[in-house]
Structure 1
Amino acid sequence: MAAQQQLLKAEKVSRVFGGLKAVSDVNLEINDGELVGLIGPNGAGKTTLFNLLTGVYEPSDGDITFSGTRVNGLKPYQITKRGAARTFQNIRLFGEMTVLENVMVAYNMHAQHNLFSSILRLPTHFKGEADMREKAIEFLKIFNLESKKDEIAKNLPYGEQRRLEIARALAAKPKLLLLDEPAAGMNPQETTDLMNLIRWIRDEFKITILLIEHDMGLVMGVCERIYVLDRGQMIASGTPEQIRTNPKVIEAYLGQEV
């Protein structure tokens, strides 16, 4: 069996806001094909770390390497083009656009544009648009959203909005998908469906997934490894079984074994 190749590495990464260290000397490594969780109390620095990994913030100290390239200082769209896509704790769809248009936006990132044909509206321009539309519809079928393709995104029920956000992220053809609290606001059945969807996405698309989540049933049920943040510091990492019995994690977050 071939050794797994490292995809993402954070080495002694810190972020300071007005003298406060929101993230302090964090180390994290994720290999190709892994499904990894990031947990911790509210205010632990989880979303700040996601923002550092995806270029929303630049580290005050330390290095972030993605696919063998140091990405400190790159803009979010530059990191996305290199193969890292994310969702947000608060869903960020293009609310006034249709479901189909939301996915086509992601496909558009990888389209081979020809400015001349676009300006003159040549046949090659329309063929490119038609190809993107066809690919986007096929993608919506995968997520059972094809029948909603012409609906305005903000009018979808919450669970379908979350699925659309994940579909849009995957349409960007990422190597790494970062999910920020994907189960937030979901009922137990929706959470179970989401857990199955996350497993299926990893296996079907052969990508790596890193997720922040408070639902411990989902985290323990789907993740192969888990990192734990508390007050901006990484206090533990390991398998779900190691994490659920770790005294530091129990004291800081779980309260009791789960």
Structure 2
Amino acid sequence: MILLSVNHLSKSFGGLKAVSAVNMELRMGELVGLIGPNGAGKTTVFNLLTGVYQPTEGDIALRRQSIVGLKPWQINQRGIARTFQNIRLFNNLTVLENVKIAYHQHASYGIASAILRLPGFYKGEDDMSQKGIELLKIFKLEHKKDELAKNLPYGEQRRLEIARAMAAQPQLLLLDEPAAGMNPQETAELMDMIRWVRQNFDMTILLIEHDMALVMGICERIYVLDYGQIIAEGTPAEIKSNRKVIEAYLGEDISHAHGS
């Protein structure tokens, strides 16, 4: 079943066409990569999918319903969550509070219950705390639940950001360079964690990444973007040997491509 369908998607900023006639499809449960050189338009695509930008042309359909024109929070409620290239956590909140914030859109109590501090409010908060701790266990962060997010090491901040995105209970998770700034061991652990999340949460994942070992190691299909256009789509093996893709990476063998 097709979860996300992107049809003829374009975005212009003044005279510059950042994304041009992009077509993509994501099936339920797939793990797909979106790669390309610097400035290719990858993060712009993510911003279009999440309502940060509105397209100049084209359509985006989630479960066959257009999400064009919706606000980011509305798209999040419909089942798309994301992480960012530059980590965006609530630095002065605890690890657990960061996760609970994402759970609040599914809170079982209403505004009146929260304002009046009725029993339903306390029960709902307890339930969210328990769910949050269970999620933090998956990401090996439960022992840090009371620490401020800003005090976590970089790799743990990355994991917390993914955990917070998962707390929104999405069907589609967009990961924007999740391995950026990680050392090889952290990257290997991240690969294992992404695989585990996908399998155990029946999650569809689209990731932007410059670490080709990670992309080739976990993605089933890969789209390649260059100058705002899709120049190739296929399996890791097909992409690795695609002449257009190799040329887009300045003549390098794509298995050694790098950059941000």
TM-score by structure 2 length?
0.96
- The unaligned stretches of length 5 or more in structure 2 are 256-260
Where does residue 96 of structure 1 map in the other structure?
92
Question: What's the secondary structure of 1:183's corresponding residue?
Answer: coil
What is the rounded CA distance, in whole Å, between the counterparts of 1:8 and 1:117 in structure 2?
36
Where does residue 224 of structure 1 map in the other structure?
220
Q: 1:22 aligns with which of 18, 27, 42?
A: 18
What is the rounded CA distance, in whole Å, between the counterparts of 2:138 and 2:40 in structure 1?
35
Name whichever of 247-256 and 223-232 sits farther off.
Answer: 247-256
What is the rounded CA distance, in whole Å, between the counterparts of 2:254 and 2:142 in structure 1?
42
- Identity percentage over the alignment? 68
Where does residue 208 of structure 1 map in the other structure?
204
- The unaligned stretches of length 5 or more in structure 1 are none
Question: What's the secondary structure of 2:18's corresponding residue?
Answer: strand
Where does residue 10 of structure 1 map in the other structure?
6
What is the rounded CA distance, in whole Å, between the counterparts of 1:177 and 1:257 in structure 2?
25
Q: 2:28 aligns with which of 22, 29, 32?
A: 32
Number of aligned positions between the proteins: 254
Question: What's the secondary structure of 2:223's corresponding residue?
Answer: strand
- The Cα of 1:115 is off from its aligned counterpart by 2.4
Name whichever of 139-148 and 242-251 sits farther off.
Answer: 139-148
Q: 2:233 aligns with which of 211, 227, 237?
A: 237
The amino acid across from 1:166 in the alignment is I
Say whether residues 1:84 and 2:69 are aligned partners.
Answer: no
Question: What's the secondary structure of 1:109's corresponding residue?
Answer: helix
Where does residue 258 of structure 2 map in the other structure?
none
Q: 1:125 aligns with which of 109, 121, 124?
A: 121
- The Cα of 1:143 is off from its aligned counterpart by 1.1
Runs of 4+ in 1 over 6 A off after TM superposition: none
Where does residue 152 of structure 1 map in the other structure?
148
- The Cα of 1:138 is off from its aligned counterpart by 1.3
Q: 2:52 aligns with which of 45, 53, 56?
A: 56
Where does residue 163 of structure 2 map in the other structure?
167
Name whichever of 19-28 and 114-123 sits farther off.
Answer: 114-123
Question: What's the secondary structure of 2:48's corresponding residue?
Answer: helix
What is the rounded CA distance, in whole Å, between the counterparts of 2:211 and 2:111 in structure 1?
47
What is the rounded CA distance, in whole Å, between the counterparts of 1:70 and 1:96 in structure 2?
36
Distance 1:124 1:113, change over 3 A: closer
The amino acid across from 1:205 in the alignment is F
- The Cα of 1:116 is off from its aligned counterpart by 2.4
Question: Matches of residues 171-190 of structure 1 in structure 2 within 5 Å?
Answer: 171-190=167-186
Say whether residues 1:249 and 2:248 are aligned partners.
Answer: no
The answer to whether the Cα contact below 8 Å between 2:212 and 2:254 also exists between their aligned partners in 1 is no
What is the rounded CA distance, in whole Å, between the counterparts of 1:128 and 1:257 in structure 2?
49
Question: What's the secondary structure of 2:106's corresponding residue?
Answer: coil
What is the rounded CA distance, in whole Å, between the counterparts of 1:186 and 1:55 in structure 2?
28
Question: What's the secondary structure of 1:211's corresponding residue?
Answer: strand
Q: Deviations over 1:130-159 (max 9, x none)?
A: 111111111111111111001000110000
Q: Report the aligned-residue RMSD.
A: 0.9
- The Cα of 1:113 is off from its aligned counterpart by 2.8
The amino acid across from 2:187 in the alignment is T
